[in-house]
Amino acid sequence: MAVPLQFLAVSKSFPRGRDRVQALQELELSLAPGTITGLLGPDGAGKTTLMRLATGLLLPDSGRVLVFGADTADAGSRIQDVIGYMPQRFGLYEDLTVQENLDLYADLQGLGREASRDRQQELLKLTALGPFGSRRAGALSGGMKQKLGLACALLRTPRLLLLDEPTVGVDPIARRELWEIVQGLRQEGTTVLMSTAYFDEAEQCDAVILLHEGRLLAQRSPQAFRAPLAGRTHLVRHDALSRRRLQESLRVRPGVLDARILAEGVRVLLREAAPPRAAGEHWQEATPAFEDAFVALLGAGAGAKPAEDPEPGGTPDSGLPPDGAQAPENVIEVRDLRRLFGNFEAVASIGFEVRKGQIFGLLGANGAGKTTTFRMLCGLLPPTSGSLQVAGMDMRHASVAAQARIGYVSQKFSLYGTLNSRQNLQFFASAYGLRGRRRTERLAWALREFQLEGYQDANADELPLGIKQRLALACALLHEPPILFLDEPTSGVDPLARREFWQRVNGLAERGVTVLVTTHFMDEAEYCDNLVLMSLGKVLAYGSPQEIRAQARTAEQPEPSMDDAFIRLVLDHESGLRRAS
Amino acid sequence: MNAQRLRRLVRKEFIQIVRDPSAIAIAFVMPVVLLFLFGYGVSLDARHVPVAMVVDAPTAETGTFVGRLQQSPYFTPLPYPDIHAAQQAVMAHRADGILWLRNDFSRALLQGGPAPVGVQVNGVDANTARILEGYIQGAWENWLEQRALDQGTPLVVPVVPDTRIWFNPTVRSRDYLVPGLIAVIMTLIGGLLTALVVAREWERGTMEALMATPVTIGEILVGKLVPYFIMGMGGMGLTVALAVWLFAVPLVGSFWVLLVFSALFLLAALGMGLLISTVAHSQFVASQVAVIVTFLPAFILSGFIFDIHSMPAPIRIVTHVIAARYFVSILQTIFLAGDLWGILLTNGLALLLMAVIFLGLTWRRSHKRLD
């Protein structure tokens, strides 16, 4: 059997402004028939370019791309007969109904009427989209859109299926369903190549391709990725120090490649097997995960190094009382908060409290009501009912005064794309009313603290996503707000940039800044002190990450992940609803 | 070209048009608004122009003259006691001009000598001013003639122009504006709407998914051409129907000839729209480009409103690359003069050439590639 996909010394570059950006360089790879291969890499590694080259929608500058032995340069239409492709924006016609979309793609792929009807039935059952046949694709939830996109790509059982980040922004339940569909394709002999930002998905693949700056870093099985790390990963706990202090101390120790905060302690990845222990610490060996391999190969501390010098007057060791000794001051108090849009209840009577210096998470899938809750907390949207206190002020009346004490990073980062980094900072400094020496100092601080010196003259539009996110955070912190609101700050950002970002947020919390953050990455819950898990406008669970995970503990699953916990809680909640009705 | 795929693409396009409010706005709402605007609102004729009348010494003669003006559809005479009051009225925009019959008017008239009439016109709006001047003169001559006839004395005028207006005897601007609108409306659908819908496919990522299927580039192009060709012809039919039945514009030539040449123009417009969409992959850029290179020229440089012959030479040269120019000329010919093959064929040839060039360029520039 011919190799499903083969790249032979493939290079591809794109013009940007006056020069060219090298997207892929001398890339060599091939996929084994009937396997699922994961494609991972930081932003700008060339994942989407690789996918498009495989479809024949892009041609290489040099080298050859072969699909089942046929060169994409001269057999484009023959190749498109045997592949299925789901682009990042899944290519659905939003004005068309589910059925119409399926009909369109069935006809485009030249399926006969009979064959098409049978296959559609099968796919509708598989994706559980049957009841939504006459609903417009634009009115589907994110997860359903993804499933429909996948169904359209699967209509004429492709021999090679290319999926570009099919699980981004999808809730854990839909993500799991998508995975089941993809894994079912193994039986049909389909070869799958999918790019993903989730490490747990990488672990389920037969092989993983790691791409970095357009080059192939490694291609092997997930087990082979993890093997060299045996004995190098540990979970560290400390008798007295907080997790954040402990992490600060571990991270800079010689021999430590990476230190990551978990709810239970700090996970450490070592260069060598011998751990550099210190007094009061409990080291426990942990099983290496794919994420560790990713960091070991790519990160090696790159970019994840913190700002050398934290804010003057607020260094971690400046004698602040340890956690717990602080007076428990509630910075945010929410009670019975509701918001209706017409008859639709976007937020249904939620309540929580956030103490000073805490990182508080709002977790949930798209459409759970996170952003609505968030806007109400920022004073951008009036609640329908309920009480809302931020920094001791009632957001329903004193929102402007409270807003001066809030730093806000929105989902889209709200930067001016045609201004350069320095101009963006200057603009926000003016917007916050900074003047004179303070302004000069804060601007210099922002450039230094967020390592933006090298990007001062680059327009915000041209910055990589990770840098953009840093700049947005710097802008939001110029006026030294005691409260920081972050709305999906890590959405679409690659795993390394996400870690670095959380590193910074942890540093801020350590200095007493209260952080409220929304995310749809369940694993990011580990960074939070407390969180609420939301679904369909309701709070499913409220507590620390350990507490929430404990709620989902069962005999079969003694150590559920946050993903597992979410799925369990949502299913319980829904069956509860069914019983109640 | 695969019939199954093509049929589905065309069907998909129609569903999208029906469900997308912006497509409906461009394809149906805007044409109707334009039609009513130009059919009822905009008129280059002067009608019911308010004119301040100052009669210093009313007599039987002045009475018949004023009565004459009152009956005319072109004027609304407003009496003022003296010239100062009339001048105030002009300054306050209550009147556009002054007709002043001095106290020696009747005497001069009865003596058989020249009887001067004072005419003052507000010249700010040069067009109306000139029209008003001509009308008053016409009314005056008319009255003199009538009076001479009544009295049985021959009117002594050295030269009498015997004017005859061809093709549009009542000189109604609506009669050439409304047919000209067909060019504008077809440009709207063929150029602007087509460029927008293709750009939208790029923007939403559907083009990428479409191209990764076995569909050919020819099918994608024809799949866009067919629906918007039908829409454009529909817009043309609607305009012709409203022109003939609602605005009573005469259609002197034959409808079938009109149909053939409209189809030719529409192909050129669609070619432009598709060509724009090969360059502009965002709706914003596509709409800007389409408005500037198709819609505005069809309005301003096509001879639809402004006469091409009175444009400065460089602009006159520019009009030659604008398809609408040839079509407006065809439209005005068919509607007002009839099937004059000499004019129709030369202009039609130009349209054919443009359609071939634009569609050919689009064909050559389109690839099933993203870069």
The verdict on residue B303 lying in a domain is: yes
User: Within A159-266, where are the H helices?
Assistant: 172-184, 199-204, 222-226, 243-251
| Beta-bridge partners for A20 | A15
Q: Which residue in B196, B198, B213, B217 has the most chain A C-beta atoms within 10 A of its own C-beta, making it the best mutation to test that interface?
A: B213
- List of chain B residues whose C-beta atoms are within 8 Å of the C-beta of residue A110: 2, 4-5, 214
Q: Do B273 and B211 sit in the same domain of this protein?
A: yes
DSSP assignment letter at A227: G
Give the distance from residue A193's alpha carbon to the nearest chain B alpha carbon, in angstroms. Answer: 15
The verdict on residue B347 lying in a domain is: yes
Of A81, A95, A100, the CB nearest to B214: A81
- The two tokens of residue B247 are 């605005």
Q: Do B35 and B147 sit in the same domain of this protein?
A: no
A108, B15: Cβ pair inside 8 Å? no
User: Within A393-552, where are the H helices?
Assistant: 399-403, 421-431, 436-449, 465-477, 495-510, 545-551
Q: What own/partner pairs with CB < 8 Å and gap ≥ 24 does B215-221 have? A: B215/A108, B215/B5, B215/B9, B216/A77, B216/B1, B216/B2, B216/B368, B217/B366, B217/B367, B217/B368, B218/B1, B218/B363, B219/B1, B219/B2, B219/B5, B219/B6, B219/B9, B220/B9, B220/B366, B221/B274, B221/B362, B221/B363, B221/B366
Q: State whether residue A364 is helix, strand or coil.
A: coil
d(CA A500, CA A450): 11
- List of chain A residues whose C-beta atoms are within 8 Å of the C-beta of residue B208: 52, 57, 87, 89, 91
B6 touches chain A (CB under 8 A): no
Where are the domains positioned within chain A?
5-225, 229-299
A57, B4: Cβ pair inside 8 Å? no
DSSP assignment letter at A97: B
Q: How many domains does chain B have?
A: 2
Of A77, A86, A88, the CB nearest to B214: A77
Q: Do B68 and B176 sit in the same domain of this protein?
A: no
Q: Do B134 and B201 sit in the same domain of this protein?
A: no
For chains A and B, CB pairs below 8 A equal: 86
The verdict on residue B158 lying in a domain is: no
Q: Do B191 and B89 sit in the same domain of this protein?
A: no
d(CA B322, CA B326): 8
d(CA A525, CA A363): 7
B20, A56: Cβ pair inside 8 Å? no
DSSP assignment letter at A381: S
The verdict on residue B157 lying in a domain is: no
The verdict on residue B156 lying in a domain is: no
3-state secondary structure chain B: CCHHHHHHHHHHHHHHHHHCHHHHHHHHHHHHHHHHHHHHHCCCCCCCEEEEEEECCCCHHHHHHHHHHHHCCCEEEEEECCHHHHHHHHHCCCCCEEEEECCCHHHHHHCCCCCCCEEEECCCCHHHHHHHHHHHHHHHHHHHHHHHHHHCCCCCCCCCCCCCCCCCCCCCCHHHHHHHHHHHHHHHHHHHHHHHHHHHHHHHCHHHHHHCCCCCHHHHHHHHHHHHHHHHHHHHHHHHHHHHHHCCCCCCCCHHHHHHHHHHHHHHHHHHHHHHHHHCCCHHHHHHHHHHHHHHHHHHCCCCCCCHHHCCHHHHHHHHHCHHHHHHHHHHHHHHHCCCHHHHHHHHHHHHHHHHHHHHHHHHHCCCCCC
Q: What is the pLDDT of residues B320-351, one digit of tens each?
A: 889 999 999 999 899 988 888 988 999 999 99
Do the beta carbons of residue B262 and residue B186 sit within 8 Å? yes
A57, B370: Cβ pair inside 8 Å? yes
Q: Do B13 and B53 sit in the same domain of this protein?
A: no
A57, B212: Cβ pair inside 8 Å? yes
d(CA A445, CA A453): 10
Domain of residue B108 covers 49-151
Name the stretches of chain A with pLDDT < 50: 301-326, 581
End-to-end alpha-carbon separation of chain B, Å?
A: 24
CATH number of the structural domain A5-225 = 3.40.50.300
A52, B370: Cβ pair inside 8 Å? yes
CATH code, domain carrying B116: 3.40.1710.10
| Beta-bridge partners for A355 | A330
d(CA A373, CA A338): 9
Per-residue pLDDT at B116 = 75
- The two tokens of residue A523 are 């694993």
Q: What is the pLDDT of residues B88-123, one digit of tens each?
A: 888 888 888 888 888 877 777 777 766 777 888 877
Give the distance from residue A81's alpha carbon to the nearest chain B alpha carbon, in angstroms. Answer: 5
Give the distance from residue A150's alpha carbon to the nearest chain B alpha carbon, in angstroms. Answer: 11
pLDDT grade for B45, boundaries at 50, 70 and 90: low
Q: What is the dihedral of CA B226, B227, B229, B235, to 10 degrees?
A: 160
The verdict on residue B179 lying in a domain is: yes
Of B2, B7, B15, the CB nearest to A110: B2
Q: Do B127 and B177 sit in the same domain of this protein?
A: no
Q: Do B79 and B21 sit in the same domain of this protein?
A: no
B210, A55: Cβ pair inside 8 Å? no
Q: Do B83 and B54 sit in the same domain of this protein?
A: yes
Query: A229-299 belongs to which CATH class?
Result: alpha beta
B8 touches chain A (CB under 8 A): yes
Residue A333 CA, chain-centre distance (Å), reads 27
Query: Which residues have C-beta within 8 Å of that of residue B225, sequence separation ≥ 6?
Result: B270, B274
Q: Do B196 and B331 sit in the same domain of this protein?
A: yes
Of B206, B368, B371, the CB nearest to A91: B206
Residues 27-86 of A with CB under 8 A from B: 52, 55-59, 76-77, 80-81, 83, 85-86
Burial grade of A8 (CB within 10 A; 0-12, 13-18, 19 or more): middle
Q: What is the pLDDT of residues B198-248, one digit of tens each?
A: 999 998 889 998 988 888 899 999 999 999 999 999 888 988 998 899 888
A95, B16: Cβ pair inside 8 Å? yes
B222 touches chain A (CB under 8 A): no
Burial grade of A498 (CB within 10 A; 0-12, 13-18, 19 or more): buried
Task: Compute the residue count for chain A.
Answer: 581
The verdict on residue B371 lying in a domain is: no
Query: Which has the closest alpha carbon to A234: A202, A264, A254, A204?
Result: A264
User: Within A155-286, where are the H helices?
Assistant: 172-184, 199-204, 222-226, 243-251
Q: Which residue in A24, A78, A80, A107 has the most chain B C-beta atoms within 10 A of its own C-beta, making it the best mutation to test that interface?
A: A107
Of A59, A96, A105, the CB nearest to B15: A96
d(CA A562, CA A522): 6
Phi-psi region of A325 (alpha: psi -120 to 50; beta: other; left: phi over 0): alpha
pLDDT grade for B156, boundaries at 50, 70 and 90: low
Q: Do B229 and B301 sit in the same domain of this protein?
A: yes
Query: Which has the closest alpha carbon to A489: A462, A454, A527, A455?
Result: A527
Per-residue pLDDT at A96 = 92
Per-residue pLDDT at A253 = 85
Query: Which residues have C-beta within 8 Å of that of residue B192, sequence separation ≥ 6?
Result: B26, B273, B287, B290, B291, B294, B295
Give the distance from residue A16's alpha carbon to the nearest chain B alpha carbon, in angstroms. Answer: 12
Q: State whether residue A310 is helix, strand or coil.
A: coil
B213, A108: Cβ pair inside 8 Å? yes
B371, A14: Cβ pair inside 8 Å? yes
The verdict on residue B99 lying in a domain is: yes
| Beta-bridge partners for A485 | A408, A516
Do the beta carbons of residue B263 and residue B330 sit within 8 Å? no
User: Within A260-365, where are the H helices?
Assistant: 290-294
**Phi, psi for A488 (deg, rounded to 5):** 45, 55
